[in-house]
Amino acid sequence: MRITGTFIDEISHDIPHQNWGKAEWDADFGHMKAIGIDTVILIRSGYRRFITYPSPWLQQHLGCYEPPVDLVELFLQLAEKHGMKFYFGLYDSGKYWDTGDMQHEIDANRYVIDEVWAKYGHYSSFGGWYLSMEISRKTKGAAAAFRTLGMQCKDVSGNLPTFISPWIDGKKAVLAASSSLTKAESVSLKAHEEEWGEIFTEIKGAVDAVAFQDGHIDYHELGDFFAVNKRLADAHGMACWTNAESFDRDMPIKFLPIKFEKLRLKLEAARQAGYDKAITFEFSHFMSPQSAYMQAGHLFNRYQEYMESLT
Amino acid sequence: MRITGTFIDEISHDIPHQNWGKAEWDADFGHMKAIGIDTVILIRSGYRRFITYPSPWLQQHLGCYEPPVDLVELFLQLAEKHGMKFYFGLYDSGKYWDTGDMQHEIDANRYVIDEVWAKYGHYSSFGGWYLSMEISRKTKGAAAAFRTLGMQCKDVSGNLPTFISPWIDGKKAVLAASSSLTKAESVSLKAHEEEWGEIFTEIKGAVDAVAFQDGHIDYHELGDFFAVNKRLADAHGMACWTNAESFDRDMPIKFLPIKFEKLRLKLEAARQAGYDKAITFEFSHFMSPQSAYMQAGHLFNRYQEYMESLT
Amino acid sequence: MRITGTFIDEISHDIPHQNWGKAEWDADFGHMKAIGIDTVILIRSGYRRFITYPSPWLQQHLGCYEPPVDLVELFLQLAEKHGMKFYFGLYDSGKYWDTGDMQHEIDANRYVIDEVWAKYGHYSSFGGWYLSMEISRKTKGAAAAFRTLGMQCKDVSGNLPTFISPWIDGKKAVLAASSSLTKAESVSLKAHEEEWGEIFTEIKGAVDAVAFQDGHIDYHELGDFFAVNKRLADAHGMACWTNAESFDRDMPIKFLPIKFEKLRLKLEAARQAGYDKAITFEFSHFMSPQSAYMQAGHLFNRYQEYMESLT
């Protein structure tokens, strides 16, 4: 199961910034390409007041700061240069995390989607949309919002594909800022299937692919959960991707690159479940030879050896 | 707003040590000089039993360990070599943090100040004193102690300048060892002005500059708080510096280098408020090209590009 | 007090993985050798479902994952190449940590010990056994289990030496996943001596050396505790080693390399107490010139300078 896509974590909730300029990003797209990545996904175009592109609407209406660089333009141009597709991640006002109400996200992104498509839609590398609000089963009410946002993205862009990347409410579903690594209560396989069946029914047609994050359950649970995910996606006509997390959730330092063996277990499980595509969160901190975390460069080498051993 | 000073975080409360020797420090002073830093400030000369210079008094009376290197001498010599001024940070017994009583700090530093001036006062790079006890509005009782310590420093050294670097009791004023990043209760602008007005009245004459730490409030609050700080400093005849923190308070890893955009926002706010000088906590971990945190080297580059773009 | 042994932290509870391959491990054994290390100790051969060598028994009976590399074989071969002794760390099912019951560890390791000796006992570098269950005074019931396991190791291998590395229940004895650095209640010197006297009486003959972890007490307490440890070990005919932790327990980031001054204080205390050998947890993350933590390379240099200054 080759990883062919990666998130780009700018703006980040919880991963310290590498402070790369244009030269470092150009080199990193080259590193991605070298291991077969053809898709880059901006994790979100903004979070609260920090944004990735100069947005008149967000700056005027939500008090966002003028960004020092237009990262959306930079990433679209580098994607063109390196022959990759770019997915645009929607704006995250932070209010959904605070209040559980998705209306703020719908209101803001109505403008963001139009603004972004008008400004950047002409790039041949503009390949799709990422509905960036992360949900799990307890946020089922959010499904209607996903439907609204997904349809707007598709309508404005001539039906470019959309995807989501929710989390499984497993034992490792704890906040990054929490000092714990696990929680006592986690979802059963049966409840997972029932609840996501309802969500998929509601978002069908507005969301083309679902890429569950693979890091919230234990490694021996991967097979069962992945089989359910694939069955659900197939039943609702959605592509089933895996979001193979390349950072380690089992360590007190939140977060450094994952142990290769764990990544391998997760990719093997996705392959066995017949998943359609693997993306990762994310290459530049956790798998890149130029990452500030030197463990990432070694992971890059181990991953390449593994890919070569399969061919 | 160019950064012209940096703390040197030896002894540290909460930043892991880089284990540099003389060669690395010499190179780092060179890196500092290259971006315009003319002032280095020893954050504290000792903390509990760890000290930066061999102190007969501290070793005999407080059980401090014999240090492997005389860092005060090393930094004074490197400051001379690179044409910089060195500020000496007072000793911190740790008892103030435990008990809220500054008397221990006054008692110990009475001897430290004399000892240090006798031993190192002849260095032409000895430029001033840093009253290292970090206070905020809730420690107003500490103001009298600052007065005592500041006057002693000035008296012994022919009136060399003194400064403090307190924190604003904002929403990010949480302990480094806490797993949280923010707290619910934070100071209002009005209370901040009233309470610091009282403190400044008391320390006037004994403290020449105040360098508020800039990391405990949100970025959109910078303008208002900085305007108050400048007004207060002006009213009491003190210089108004900013302590531009170059580490990121918003991330679960405590602490790695800050995202450049955030540092830029803080420096812009200081410039707009008409601040007199910018120092940082601190160059060697968070901005140096040779830092163990490689993000720091990229921050160095982004900062240099920014400075060049302003000229 | 020269460090002549190091743990190898594969599989780790709490230190993020470096993702090294054979080339990096070979180079690291060379770095170890260069500073006088003649003993490498596998911290544990497995933890829960992750294991370091392909074990038919563990895979069939405990659902362990097939490991991507046979690390036991790799380390034995590298130890032969570099002229070092390899100690095998027993399997840790994780159940003892969860339940306080050592019976699971005895049951699993009965098979592991036989399996491993049959498979790897012919290597001339196979030098001994590490009883990997970490205990402290509150787990006295575990002493009988240590006796059982130690005797089995010795019986199967022609009396190869065994050792344990318990912790002192000092003020820094907090969980790695906890956000605190210290706790209020810690053991008194007297209780430490009484309780460990009982434990040593029970394990005598089955355990050849005890290497207390040196990081759970304050630096000024080292002398007193080390003197007790040496007296106890002597009285029970065991060798007294120190496990000199080369990571820093005093910082919010858990864990980065220790400040050299602290390591020096601990090694000096072990020397003064007349300890027999110093090992460290552990070289590859915290002292190696090729560690992903660049502070480690500087620690390597400071340590080398210190060793040279003593000769």
Residue C179: its pLDDT value, please?
78
Residue C140: its pLDDT value, please?
59
Three-class SS string for A194-228?
Answer: HHHHHHHHHHECCECEEEEECCCCCHHHHHHHHHH
Residue ranges in chain C whose pLDDT is less than 50: none
Give the side-chain half-sphere CA count within 13 A for A190.
0
Residue C186: its pLDDT value, please?
87
Q: How confident is the model at residue B10 (pLDDT cuts 50, 70, 90)?
A: very high
Average model confidence (pLDDT) across chain A: 95
Is the per-residue pLDDT at A161 higher than 90?
A: yes
Mean pLDDT for A65-77 is 98
Flag whether residue C302 sits within 8 Å of chain B, measured between CB atoms: yes
Asked if omega into C11 is within 30° of 0 (cis), the reply is: yes
- Contacts with A251 from chain C: Cβ below 8 Å: 12, 14-16
- Contacts with A260 from chain C: Cβ below 8 Å: 17, 19, 68
Amino acid in the structure at residue C240: C
Selection from C285, C15, C23, C41 nearest residue A259 by Cα = C15
Flag whether residue B299 sits within 8 Å of chain A, measured between CB atoms: yes
ipTM of the complex: 0.96
Average model confidence (pLDDT) across chain B: 95
Residue B134: its pLDDT value, please?
81
Q: Is A115 helix (H, G, I), strand (E, B) or coil?
A: helix
- Tell me how close the Cα of B251 comes to any Cα of chain A, in angstroms: 5
- Between chain B and chain C, how many beta carbons pairs sit less than 8 Å apart? 63
Q: How confident is the model at residue B140 (pLDDT cuts 50, 70, 90)?
A: low
Eight-state DSSP code of residue C132: -
Flag whether residue C171 sits within 8 Å of chain A, measured between CB atoms: no
Residue A64: its pLDDT value, please?
98
For C114-270, where are the E strands, in sequence order? Answer: 126-130, 162-164, 209-213, 239-245
Please indicate whether, in this complex, the C-beta atoms of C305 and B65 are within 8 angstroms of each other: no
Cα–Cα distance measured from residue B194 to residue B187, given in angstroms and rounded to the nearest whole number: 11
Please indicate whether, in this complex, the C-beta atoms of C15 and A251 are within 8 angstroms of each other: yes
pLDDT tens, position by position, B46-55: 999 999 999 9
Residue B288: its pLDDT value, please?
98
Mean pLDDT for B66-75 is 97
pLDDT tens, position by position, B19-69: 999 999 999 999 999 999 999 999 999 999 999 999 999 999 999 999 999
How far from chain centre, in Å, is Cα B42?
8
Residue A91: its pLDDT value, please?
97
Amino acid in the structure at residue C213: Q
Burial of A193 (0-12, 13-18, 19+ CB in 10 A): middle
Residue C219 is nearest to which of B20, B65, B67, comparing CB atoms? B65
Burial of A95 (0-12, 13-18, 19+ CB in 10 A): middle
Residue A180's contacts (CB-CB under 8 Å, 6 or more residues apart) are A174, C177
CB atoms closer than 10 angstroms to residue C121? 14
Residue B175: its pLDDT value, please?
83
CB contacts under 8 A, B 100-139 vs C, are: none
- Contacts with A254 from chain B: Cβ below 8 Å: 252-253
The nearest alpha carbon in chain B to A179 belongs to B179
Using a pLDDT cut of 90, give the percent of chain B over it.
88
Residue B298 is nearest to which of A15, A19, A178, comparing CB atoms? A19
Mean pLDDT for A2-26 is 97
The nearest alpha carbon in chain A to B262 belongs to A50
Cα–Cα distance measured from residue B285 to residue B292, given in angstroms and rounded to the nearest whole number: 7
How far from chain centre, in Å, is Cα C285?
14
Q: Are C105 and C92 in contact (CB under 8 A)?
A: yes
Q: How confident is the model at residue A236 (pLDDT cuts 50, 70, 90)?
A: very high
What is the rounded radius of gyration, in angstroms, for the C-alpha atoms of chain A?
18
Q: How confident is the model at residue B137 (pLDDT cuts 50, 70, 90)?
A: confident
Mean pLDDT for A285-306 is 98
Flag whether residue A299 sits within 8 Å of chain C, measured between CB atoms: yes
Selection from B215, B237, B18 nearest residue B226 by Cα = B215
Using a pLDDT cut of 90, give the percent of chain A over it.
87
**Of all helices (H) and strands (E), which one includes residue C7?**
strand C3-8
Selection from B205, B295, B308, B207 nearest residue B257 by Cα = B295
**Residue C19, phi-psi category: left (phi > 0), alpha (psi -120 to 50), beta (remainder):** left
Q: Give me A226's structure tokens.
A: 């992945």
| Cα-based distances in Å from A212 to A229, A230, A245, B103, B253 | 8, 10, 10, 58, 25
Residue A140: its pLDDT value, please?
59
- Contacts with A179 from chain C: Cβ below 8 Å: 177-179
- For the question of whether the overall pTM of this predicted structure is more than 0.95, the answer is yes
Cα–Cα distance measured from residue B248 to residue C162, given in angstroms and rounded to the nearest whole number: 46
Mean pLDDT for B189-218 is 96
Please indicate whether, in this complex, the C-beta atoms of A24 and B219 are within 8 angstroms of each other: no
Q: Give me C297's structure tokens.
A: 């390379």
How far from chain centre, in Å, is Cα A87?
10
Mean pLDDT for A240-254 is 97
**Of all helices (H) and strands (E), which one includes residue B109?**
helix B103-120
Most A CBs within 10 Å: which of B172, B251, B267, B272, as the mutation test of the A interface?
B251
pLDDT tens, position by position, A98-139: 777 889 999 999 999 999 999 999 999 999 999 998 888 777
Is the per-residue pLDDT at A95 higher than 90?
A: no
- Between chain A and chain B, how many beta carbons pairs sit less than 8 Å apart? 63
Average model confidence (pLDDT) across chain C: 95
Is the per-residue pLDDT at A97 higher than 80?
A: no
Using a pLDDT cut of 70, give the percent of chain C over it.
99
